[in-house]
Amino acid sequence: MSYDLVVRGKAFVGGELSYQEIGIEDGRIAAVSKSLGRADKVLDIGSSRAILPGFMDPHVHFRDPGMTSKEDFSTGTLSAVHAGVTCVLDMPNTKPPVTDVRTLNEKKAAVRGRAHVDYGLFAAVTAGCNAALLAPMVPGFKLFMGSTTGNILLNDDAEMIPAVKGVLATGKRMSVHAEDDSMISKGGAECTRDHLRNRPAAAEHNAIRRLAGSFRGSRINICHVTTPEGLDLARAAGFTTEVTLHHVLFDVDRHTGAEYKVNPPIRDPATREALYRRLLAGDVSMFGTDHAPHTVEEKGQEFEAAPGGIPGVETTMPIVMEMVRGGILPLSMAVSMGAEVPASSFSVRKGRIAEGYDADLSVFDFRAPEPIDVRRLHSRCGHSPYGGFKAIFPDTVIIRGELQVDGKEFCGERLGKDVCG
């Protein structure tokens, strides 16, 4: 058989790195073998770099439409591809929020043809939403039990429980911002510790308990878990979980300013350290960046006036790759949490170097860590709390068999497609 492209080199297949030849035909992986036949084109990666499946970020806020001064689909997905992220799932709290078929179709039209990576658009869970109509058009739904950017809060059991039942009946997974809004204080805040006081860990725990009480064993994903107790509650209920790097790397003692203001909040050092240990133990299902950009000017306001949110789509997986290089995380866990689990959880045919999967590949040279230079990042927001952190960025990225990044420079086109058509 002749292939459109054969990629040769040390690839992550079957849980380990080994020499493989990856045959690509019509954008999908047609064969993986130690030796393949003819190809129209061969890309030889060599033995010093690692070919990994393209990563998937199941939780981004690209602010498009309605808030494109902060980020849009073009800049957000350009950031993603430079991290080796080949698919993103965008949240519905844009302007207008995605709550019905009309607003979903409007958003699809607004972003079509502007993405550098593949994407899916979530719909919000609202009282009386027609989940059956929305389900074929989305990879998942988002429930906001705690107030955050946007106005699509749903925390009253009388409305929430029937709405969630309708969503879960479609077979789609529902991601949840799990903070019980009735336990969130609206008091003033001058630093991250004040913000933590206003949004206590108990709000996370109670939100997850309420979900577990009605929906144990259901296709529910708890976003940005911030505490080991919340993680235990979610795991006991059979829910998948996300963790962000900002909740395992930052705490209120060392990171006090508005740049670190986020919902749910970063927590005290002991909680952060305990959550970090649980990440290293393999107890979290997947990484999710909760990439939530705001402008430098917005984040430069007094703490109380500054919006909550931290950008991370371009920095998270490169930092994780440095953790792999340093022996902190095993490569198998990084690939599972960054590619395999998010793709399988949201039923997207990506995340593995295996026959039948989309030919999304990211190539990393573990000999080449570098400090993150915020000036070289591609997000429109123009700032990052990860400046100076060591990271390994991919030098080659392929999406559906098409070379998009070569020598760490973008060389492709805006070929991103909606994974739900």
3-state secondary structure the chain: CCECEEEEEEEEECCEEEEEEEEEECCEEEEEECCCCCECCEEEEEEEEEEEECEEEEEECCCCCCCCCCCCHHHHHHHHHCCCEEEEEECCCCCCCCCCHHHHHHHHHHHCCCCCCEEEECEECCCCCCHHHHHHHCCEEEEECCCCCCCCECCCHHHHHHHHHHHHCCCCEEEEECCCHHHCCCCCCCCHHHHHHHCCHHHHHHHHHHHHHHHCCCCEEECCCCCHHHHHHHHHCCCEEEECHHHHHCECCCCCCHHHCCCCCCECHHHHHHHHHHHHCCCCCEECCCECCCCHHHHCCCCCCCCCCECCCCCHHHHHHHHHHCCCCCHHHHHHHHHHHHHHHCCCCCCCCCCCCECCEEEECCCCCEECCHHHCCCCCCCCCCCCCEECCCCEEEECCEEEEECCEECCCCCCCECCC
Q: Which of 90, 181, 194, 290 is catalytic?
A: 290
| CA terminus-to-terminus distance, the chain | 30
For residue 281, count CB atoms less than 10 angstroms from its CB and return exposed for 0-12, middle for 13-18, buried for 19 or more: exposed
Active site residue 290: yes
- Looking from the CA of 71 toward its CB, the CA atoms found within 13 Å total 30
Burial code of 379-398, b = ≥16 C-beta within 10 A, e = fewer?
bbbebbbbeeebbbbbbbbb
Is the alpha carbon torsion for 186, 189, 192, 196 positive or negative?
Answer: negative
Residues marked as catalytic: 290
